[in-house]
Amino acid sequence: MKKAYNQVYQFKIALLGISPQIWRRIQVPETYTFWDLHVAIQAVMDWEGYHLHEFSVPNPKTRTVDAIGFPDDEFGREVLEGWKTKISPYFSMNNKQAVYTYDFGDNWEHSVVLEKILPRDPPKNYPCCIGGKRNSPPEDVGGVSGFKEFVAVMKDPEHEEHEEMAEWYGEEFDPEAFSCEDVIFLSPDKLLKLALEDPFS
């Protein structure tokens, strides 16, 4: 059973290194963990969540930067378990910023900025997406440089790699397309159960 909450956190998430900017604005319950926030970001970016991720967040108590996500012994660093770590002790209007990295191969870095802490609006369902611009890069496209090449190839039907790239992607790609109405938020608890049963490779 989900815990009751009275406030929601409004975040702006922006993908770094790409211009014009790809961004999303979401509202989530104050009771969220970092795992919950990760799942919400995956939803608004239309990604699958099958790569590792990590939040780099200033700790307001220690003044150091904590790594929070899905611990992996391969990297030999202390990473706090996201599903056991609440967002509320970290984010405040005096401690608003974090970096979210998804897929350490493509290395998608996002700025995560707390814009507002708002009273809960009982008729609304949370989490919710209330704004955003531009389509997200496909999974495994090769990071920022790979995405730029992907967009250029998909725009040019005469490009020698267009047919192969279109077959790989499976459909047309509109770099400007995004609608909050198309976002589907999945259950963080169910996804965590699956992730713990079948750890990321």
Predicted confidence band of residue 199 (pLDDT cuts 50, 70, 90): low
Q: What SS3 class is residue 177?
A: coil
Angle between helices 34-45 and 188-197 (to 10 degrees): 100
Q: Per residue in 99-129, pLDDT tens?
A: 999 999 999 999 999 999 999 999 999 999 9
Residue ranges matching CATH 3.10.290.30 in the chain? 7-136+178-197
Q: Does domain 7-136+178-197 have CATH number 3.10.290.30?
A: yes
In sequence order, what DSSP letters do the residues of 49-95 get, joined into one string? --S-EEEEEE-TTTSSEEEEE---GGG-S--EEGGG-BSTTT-BTTB
Q: What is the pLDDT of residue 1?
A: 45
- For residue 195, give every residue at least 6 positions away whose Cβ sits within 8 Å of its Cβ, in sequence order, or none: 70
Q: Per residue in 38-70, pLDDT tens?
A: 999 999 999 999 899 999 999 999 999 999 998
pLDDT (average), residues 166-183: 94
